Each structure stands twice: as C-alpha cells, then as structure tokens.
Structure 1
Amino acid sequence: MRGEWVNDPVVQRFREYLKIPSVHPDIDYGDCVVFLKQQANEIGLPVTVYELVPGKPIVVITWTGLQPKDSSILLNSHMDVVPVYEEYWSHPPFEAVITDDGFLYGRGTQDMKGVGMMHLETIRRLKTAGVRLKRTIHMCFVPDEETGGTDGMRKFSESEVFKKLNVGFCLDESMPSSTDALIAFNGERTSRQIKITCKGVPGHGSLLESNTAGEKLHYIVNKFMTLRAEEKKKLDNGAALGEVTTINLTQTEGGVQINVLPENLSVSFDIRIAPEYDHDAFEKMITRWCKEAGDDVIFEYIVKNPEVKNTKIDGTVPFWNVIKTTVEKMGIVINCATCPGATDARYVRRQGVPAIGLSLMTNTLPLLHAHDERIHVQVYKRGIDIMEKIVLAVANV
C-alpha cells in the first residue's frame, strides 16, 4: 500500500513542495516560486510573480472564468513554515516521508502547504476534465504569514494589483479537525499588545514611600488579571477560545537594584479581543485604569491591529451558503467559529472581501507548529475531493 501512495503523482507533487525548506528565520522562497511556476505550466495557466518587498514574492496563478467581469474567487495559502526542532521528529521534517500506515510527515503538511496543494490539485483536476467556471479563480501563494504577514498578504491586499484581481470571496486556512466534522473560520480576534509604564518616587528600599512605581504597577496588574480570570471562567464554562478575550502578562521591566525603589516599572500584555467585545470601550477601560493607578502611568501599543468584522454566516453571504450546502450534501458536518489565532484572511476582510478559512482535514490530530506534523495520505486526497465540490459551488455563484 505504501508503494501505491509513493507512486501516486498527486502525492508526489505534494511531497515535492514539502521538501522545499521555506522555513524561518533565514528563508528563501526561490525554490517555491520555481515549483509553483512549474505547476502552473503543467496545468496550462498563466502565472505572475509580484515582489512588493524585495525577497518576498507573491505568486498568483489565474484561471479565467466564463464571466471575467464578475468578482473573482481567491484561493489563498502561504509558502512559509515555522522552525523545527529536528531532534524531536520521528522522521526528517523536510524529507516528506510516508510511513507504512500512510502518514506523510513534514513541516507544512497541515500549516499550510497541504491546503495550498489541495487548491492546486483541484484546479488541475477541473481544468483537465474540461470544466469551465463562471468566475475567475486566482490561486495566491504568499510569504511571511508565520511572521505576521506584513510583507506578504498585508501589503498585497492593500496594493493596486490586488484591487485589479476584483476578488469577491476568499478561501484561506482553518485547522484540522480531530472528528468527522470540518472546522471553518469566519473571523479572528483582534490582537492588541500593550506596554504600561508606571513612574513613581525613587528612594531607599527600607522606606514605605507613597506614590511608588510598584504600587501603581500592582494596581494595573490586578485589574488585568481580574479581567483575565473573568474571561477564563467563560472558557471553563464551555465557550470557544475564539469567543473569549485572552489576556496574558508576558513581560516586566524596570528597577536598578533590589534595595532601590525604582523610578520606572513597566508591564506588557498580549491581548486578543473577542469579536463581540466593544473595542473602543476596551481601550477607554485601559485608559481609565491608568488614571486610577495614579499620576504618570501611561500605556503604548506595541501592536494595535484594527478591528475587522467577521464574515457573516447568517445567510447574507452566498459563498458561505453554498459551501455549507455542498459539504452537508456530502454528509459532512461543518462548524464555523472565530479563529483563536491569526491568519492572512484578516487582511482580505479589511478590504471588505468576505473570507472563510477552511482546512479540509478531518479525523486528524492538529499539529500546527508542533513536532511530527503530519497528515494521512487518504485524508489529503479526500480533502481534494471536497475542495473540488466547493470550488465548483463558489465559482458558479
């Protein structure tokens, strides 16, 4: 059976992509570009490479539809993968080993070269079969998603080039499901990373001075950690992570010596605001806490992502409607949720384009960024079957 998989050209193309070590931090996308150009040529589709930032190529493969003036469909994936600790892997992470029981090991199998190859194989299959779609399909392969997407999808989505693609709907990534049901993402929490600095009266550590930096810091930390506990209760009571605002104290700074009252102390928090939370009210609350803590307490944003509304799943977005109907006709349950992390889809949504994240991997242990990232060959090939039906549906809306 393993020999059958190894000799399968669909699997071999996937393995070839996985063997390209497009891994941070010293990343080179050259081989990915060569590979994707080769795929486009084999399928018989035009390919364009944009380099809005030197060394950060964006590859777009286009299949023009029968009604090219209609808004297009964007199938987006990223070429980069996160670092590996090879000593903890059962098989080398960039050799794309297939085991006797059918598991394909490799960094990127789940996140997200597997999804990108499902896009490619779907279009290859449809075009080879002589199918024609109403809407134009753009397959997009971007850099640097794993480092925030600033030089990848963010710049691309804000460019005139992107506007000319006339995108009306985007499919991106979600995560594998350990059950028979698919997981879809229709939005993300908003990342806000802040640093609060408290200035106080310096002096000798043996005194009990008033208006110290430590007292002010204590007040701030207490407020944030109390809110954290309240949000954690929601999680403990069954709320999904994507629907909960997470607050984590990640850094503290300040002080010159253990017996000296410091003039400055600071604390940093990583915050992910849930979609239903009033983002403006959240910022006003932090401002109020700083004033309550005392004089000379200020906060600054290290990261302040704008609020981006979730793609609606209330029946008003026809693309989501046909996805749900299509997979349910195949006997597959699909559950939509807010992504607890972040994907490139947020940049597409900022442009007013509805986007759904969808990684077609059921009964698969989620191993994104983990050791021994892998996917079963049968799961991968079934994902292509499902993607084919989805593309047919959304491209003919």
Structure 2
Amino acid sequence: MSSEKWENNEEIKIFREYLRIPTVHPDVDYTACVEFLKRQASSLNLPVEVVYPAVQTKPVVIIKWEGSQPELSSIVLNSHTDVVPVFREKWTHEPFSADIDEEGRIFARGTQDMKSVGTQYLGAIRLLKASGFKPKRNLYVTFVPDEETGGHLGMAEFVKTDYYKKMNAGFSLDEGATSESDVHHLFYAERLRWGLKLKVSGTSGHGSLLLPNTAGVKLNYLVNKLTEFRTSQVENLARDSSLSKGDVTTVNLTQLSGGVQSNVVPPLFEAVFDIRIAITVNVVAFEKQIRDWCEEAGGGIEIDFFQKEPYIGPTKLDNSNPYWLAVKAAIDELGLKVHPIVCPGATDSRFIREKGTPAIGFSPIINTTMRIHDHDEFLQADVYLNGIDVYKKIIRNLAEV
C-alpha cells in the first residue's frame, strides 16, 4: 500500500504535525505545542485557555466543549504533551520527522506514548460535531506537561487550582497502554510509587582486614533480603496466570555509590531502590519489614523514603459507577476485547483519583509492537484512525451519562 494514501488524510496530517513538535525532555519548550493546540481548538470552533499551575514554562492547555446541561459534573479527556528523550543513533527514522513508510507505519517519539491519544480525542470531537451531536455534560480536553517526569509540575499542581475545581470533574479518561494482541488494556488503578535511599554506615579501614560491621557487609544483607522479596514476586507472577505486572510489587536496585579505591574499606555506601507497590499490599507492614531488615543488618543505616505516594483507591468497575457503564456499553457495541488491569507504571490518573474522581486509562492501540520509551516508536496509520472511531463512541456515551 502506498504511503500517499495516508499522507493525504487530514487526521493523519494533524497527528504528524503534532509529532513533529519536539516536546522532549530534559528541557522542554512547549511554545510551539501550545500554538498548535490553539489552532486545533480554533478549527473545532471551541474555546481554549492556557493556565500555568506551577511555573510559567509548564502550560496546561484546556479546550472546552460546553454541554447543554453545564451544571452537571464534567468529563475530562486528558493527555500529556511531553515525551521522553531519544537516542537518535538507535532510530532508523528521525524521531521527530513523523516519517510514514509503505506499510503505513508512522515513526516518531510520542506515537504510542501518548500524543496519539490527544489528537484522537480531537478527531473524535470533530466527527461528533459534524454529525450534529451536542453533549449533555461539559467536555474538557486537557493537555498537561511533564507527565514523563512524574507530573509534579503538571497535573499534580493543576488539580489544586481553582480552575480545576470549577471544571467540576465527574470522570476522567487518560492514557492506557499499547497491546501487542487484539485485547485492549484498561487501567483502573495504579501501584504506589516509592523511592528508597539507604545510607549504610560501617567500620572503615584497610582493605586487607576482615573488619566487623562494614558498610559493604550490611549492604549485602539488605540487597539479599530485597532481592529475595523481588524473587517471590517473580514467582507469584509466574505461578498465577491471572496476575498481571501491576498485581505484584517490584523492587529494583537502580543506583549504587560509595568507596574511593580498592584497598580502602569505605565508611559509607548509598543504595537507591525503585519500588512499585501493589494496591493489595499492607504498606505499613511493608515499611516495617524494610526497617526490621535494616536493624537485622546491624543498624547504622539511614532510611530515606524520598518518594512515598499514598494509597489511592481504584476506580470501581461495577454498576455503582455510571461512567464505567457508559464506557463498557461503548466497548461492547464496538465489539472490543478489553482486559482491566492495574497500571504497572504511573500516569496522571493517580492525581485525579486522589481528588475522589473516577478515572480510567485507555488507549485504542492494539496489534502493535510495544515501543513505548523505546527506539523506533511507531503507530500504524489505520490503527490511529480506528482509534478516532473508538473514542467517538466512548466520548458520546460519557457525555450523555
């Protein structure tokens, strides 16, 4: 199939224009992105506002489609505008050129995570407006910055603003994940993100001696304990096919520092662990276990939980949640296969849920090789266009709840 067919498609043109704006970390300039989104709002004849909840370099763009009953709680269609860094030498296409090959694959950073979702929302709204549809509830299409660095200068601050409060959010839709099969992944909860730094002190001296209570011996004990726990989670995942990655707790040693040279036993080692805690875990008992291990190792260990997200309850997927029923009705009508799971990573939905608003993560990307944060990230043009039709049905149902 010739790529010309896709290059002349108006929705594909819009998507590729968005992809060519390099909103890439570490130093993101959102200026061109904001102007692009303002033009998109204008093309839809919808009002747009830009707010800066944290700093003037971190804009949140909000496009509003007013409903016939604006006093009702609103629907938030969220996506993030930033993307992770690239290693250009590992790409077969320029990562911000949005090249499209003969198979209709569009190559660019952000195709899967998650610029596709943002412009698919807009494409779906374009179709709904063209059909004469008028939403009952207000619809807000929000484009937030810095999700890829934790969201702390984006959605985390935005939900604290008076602007967000006035939006009266009743439900939020956000990113899901790429599926390599025909089954869509739907996120209804997220694991807790904890960051742990251990500063392990011990006896220092000559490298030729068997000194007592060295930092290395203590650190070895702790690494072994945390690795044993990690292994238990790997075994749980392998033993129970009903579990997904988000149903277990991950522990990974990500940074290690200390020492000056090979023949000096150092007085201090520092180790950093990335921990993602399953929502079924008793976090009080889990933290106590880590502290107990530090005592068993010999003490003299400073424990710093430099990141410690609170428990946030999952979004209910039952008859008590009318928004879920609306999404499910759309899914059923479209004949989609969907597997609800706990998100193994983290998205901006956690900040929405923390405010008591139900949120679901969903991306209509199936039968696609997972390339999120990877080299040669791509999305098939027909998969992208089909996603617009999927969102058209979901958004219509949500607006009518």
Sort the TM-score into its range (normalised by shorter chain): over 0.9
Aligned to 2:337: 333
Equivalent of 2:84, from 82, 104, 111? 82
Aligned to 2:145: 143
Deviation at 1:160, TM superposition (A): 1.9
Equivalent of 1:131, from 114, 130, 133? 133
Matched ranges for 1:54-65 at <5 A: 54-65=56-67
Q: Distance in 2 between matches of 1:256 and 1:89?
A: 38
TM-score (normalised: structure 2):
0.95
Q: 8 Å contact 2:48–2:61 — kept in the other structure?
A: yes
Q: 8 Å contact 1:60–1:141 — kept in the other structure?
A: yes
Q: 8 Å contact 1:177–1:365 — kept in the other structure?
A: yes
| AA in 2 matched with 1:293 | A
Deviation track 1:211-254 (CA, whole Å, cap 9, x = no partner) reads 33233222211211111111111122233111110111122222
Q: Distance in 1 between matches of 2:272 and 2:181?
A: 37
Equivalent of 1:317, from 317, 321, 324? 321
More off after superposition, 290-299 vs 257-266: 257-266
Matched ranges for 1:284-363 at <5 A: 284-363=288-367
Deviation track 1:181-210 (CA, whole Å, cap 9, x = no partner) reads 211111111111111122222233333333
Q: 8 Å contact 1:158–1:351 — kept in the other structure?
A: no
Q: 8 Å contact 2:318–2:324 — kept in the other structure?
A: no
Matched ranges for 1:240-319 at <5 A: 240-319=244-323
Determine if the alignment matches structure 1 residue 371 to structure 2 residue 401: no
More off after superposition, 305-314 vs 57-66: 305-314
Give the 3-state SS of the residue equivalent to 1:134 in structure 2: coil
Cα separation, partners in 2 of 1:96 and 1:213, compared to 1, 3 Å: closer
Q: Distance in 1 between matches of 2:394 and 2:18?
A: 23
Deviation at 1:88, TM superposition (A): 2.4
Percent identity, please. Answer: 47
Deviation at 1:76, TM superposition (A): 0.3
Give the 3-state SS of the residue equivalent to 2:164 in structure 1: helix
Give the 3-state SS of the residue equivalent to 1:391 in structure 2: helix
Deviation at 1:2, TM superposition (A): 2.7
More off after superposition, 126-135 vs 252-261: 252-261
Determine if the alignment matches structure 1 residue 395 to structure 2 residue 399: yes
Q: 8 Å contact 1:176–1:366 — kept in the other structure?
A: yes
Matched ranges for 1:150-299 at <5 A: 150-237=152-239, 238=241, 239-299=243-303
Deviation at 1:256, TM superposition (A): 3.4
Q: 8 Å contact 1:43–1:128 — kept in the other structure?
A: no
Q: 8 Å contact 2:196–2:303 — kept in the other structure?
A: yes
Give the 3-state SS of the residue equivalent to 1:275 in structure 2: coil
Q: 8 Å contact 2:106–2:380 — kept in the other structure?
A: yes
Q: Distance in 2 between matches of 1:99 and 1:339?
A: 32
Runs of 4+ in 1 over 4 A off after TM superposition: none
Q: Distance in 2 between matches of 1:347 and 1:70?
A: 21
Cα separation, partners in 2 of 1:201 and 1:84, compared to 1, 3 Å: closer
Equivalent of 1:97, from 87, 96, 99? 99
Aligned to 1:113: 115
Give the 3-state SS of the residue equivalent to 2:46 in structure 1: coil
Determine if the alignment matches structure 1 residue 5 to structure 2 residue 6: yes
Give the 3-state SS of the residue equivalent to 2:397 in structure 1: helix
Deviation at 1:42, TM superposition (A): 1.2
Give the 3-state SS of the residue equivalent to 2:99 in structure 1: coil
Aligned to 1:29: 30
Q: Distance in 2 between matches of 1:293 and 1:88?
A: 43
Q: Matched residue pairs, number?
A: 397
Q: Distance in 2 between matches of 1:375 and 1:252?
A: 37
Q: Distance in 1 between matches of 2:12 and 2:271?
A: 49
Q: Distance in 2 between matches of 1:362 and 1:295?
A: 50
Q: 8 Å contact 1:143–1:152 — kept in the other structure?
A: yes
Q: 8 Å contact 1:324–1:334 — kept in the other structure?
A: no
Cα separation, partners in 2 of 1:262 and 1:155, compared to 1, 3 Å: same
Q: 8 Å contact 1:193–1:303 — kept in the other structure?
A: yes
| AA in 2 matched with 1:254 | G
| AA in 2 matched with 1:332 | L
Compute the RMSD of aligned alpha carbons: 1.5
Q: Distance in 2 between matches of 1:156 and 1:84?
A: 27
Deviation at 1:281, TM superposition (A): 1.4
Give the 3-state SS of the residue equivalent to 1:151 in structure 2: coil
Deviation at 1:128, TM superposition (A): 2.4
Q: Distance in 2 between matches of 1:14 and 1:120?
A: 10
Q: Distance in 2 between matches of 1:102 and 1:254?
A: 50
Give the 3-state SS of the residue equivalent to 1:228 in structure 2: helix
Cα separation, partners in 2 of 1:292 and 1:332, compared to 1, 3 Å: same
Give the 3-state SS of the residue equivalent to 1:4 in structure 2: helix
Aligned to 2:42: 41
Give the 3-state SS of the residue equivalent to 2:274 in structure 1: strand
Cα separation, partners in 2 of 1:297 and 1:322, compared to 1, 3 Å: same
5+ residue gaps, structure 2, are none
